[in-house]
Amino acid sequence: MSITIWHNPRCSKSRQTLALIEARGVAPHVRLYLKDVPDIGEIAAAVDLLEIAAIELVRRGEKTYRDAQIDDASPERLVLAALAANPILIERPIVFANGKAAIGRPPEAVLDIL
């Protein structure tokens, strides 16, 4: 089984989700998405797999959110562009497995796709 996690090691939920996956005997591909930034197409694909609107993937508590000038009324393409330009805004962690995706908030939420 191939599993990928968009991971931020500074985030406790991301670390907990990674540990949960590893505890199941799986060594996922760890993508440090703040350094290996997903492009608009990859983010759009993640949104599709998550079955959410792009704005639901945005971390609204980040200072960068206010600077990005996006909100619930923003067109999807603008939100995707803001996420690609400011990856710190991407909710984390995101786990991809078995043609599905899940956000690890709480970490146990990813168990359904493993």
Under 8 Å between Cβ of 103 and 93 = yes
Q: According to the CATH classification, is domain 1-33+92-114 in 1.10.357.10?
A: no
Q: Cα angle vertex 52, ends 92, 109, to 5°?
A: 50
In the chain, where the domains are located: 1-33+92-114, 39-90
CA distance 25 to 19: 10
Determine which one of 5, 10, 11, 56 is catalytic.
11
Q: Annotated catalytic, 53?
A: no
Condensed to tens digits (0 to 9), the pLDDT of residues 12-67 reads 999 999 999 999 999 999 999 999 999 999 999 999 999 999 999 999 999 999 99
110: Cα separation from own chain's centroid: 12
pLDDT at 1: 72
Task: Provide the 10 A C-beta neighbour count for residue 49.
Answer: 15
Instruction: Kindly report, residue by residue over 56-114, the tens digit of the pLDDT.
Output: 999 999 999 999 999 999 999 999 999 999 999 999 999 999 999 999 999 999 999 99
Alpha carbon 101 to chain centroid, angstroms:
9
Which secondary-structure segment (H or E) carries 85? helix 76-85
